[in-house]
């Protein structure tokens, strides 16, 4: 009985993964790519602003720009 339940559960899980995998559409992929490109462009602009600084404030500025980029990419 346990083996039959385990096989049934495995079948349901496999079916679930099989139906979710092709769910990503071209529109979703394009939107993700656009959001990722936007995050990268924003990072580059923020990073350029950091070049005017020196020492520790520059390091902090760079790390904040990196964090903002990672946050934007994670939200995408």
Q: Which two tokens stand for residue 69?
A: 């980029």
Which pLDDT belongs to residue 42?
Answer: 92
8-66 tens-digit pLDDT: 566 666 766 555 555 568 888 888 999 999 999 999 999 999 999 999 999 999 999 99
CB distance 50 to 65 below 8 Å: yes
Q: How far apart are the first and last CA of the chain?
A: 44
Q: Given this model, what pLDDT does residue 60 score?
A: 94
- Confidence band (pLDDT; 50, 70, 90) for 76? confident
| CA pair distance 35, 39, nearest whole angstrom | 6
Q: Comparing 33 with 5, which gets the higher pLDDT?
A: 33
């Amino acid at each position: 009985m346990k083996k039959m339940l385990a096989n049934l559960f495995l079948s349901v899980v496999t079916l679930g993964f099989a139906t979710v995998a092709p769910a990503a559409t071209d529109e979703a992929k394009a939107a993700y790519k656009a959001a990722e490109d936007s995050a990268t462009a924003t990072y580059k602009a923020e990073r350029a602003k950091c070049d005017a600084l020196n020492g520790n404030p520059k390091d902090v500025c760079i790390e904040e720009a990196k964090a903002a980029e990672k946050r934007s990419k994670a939200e995408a």
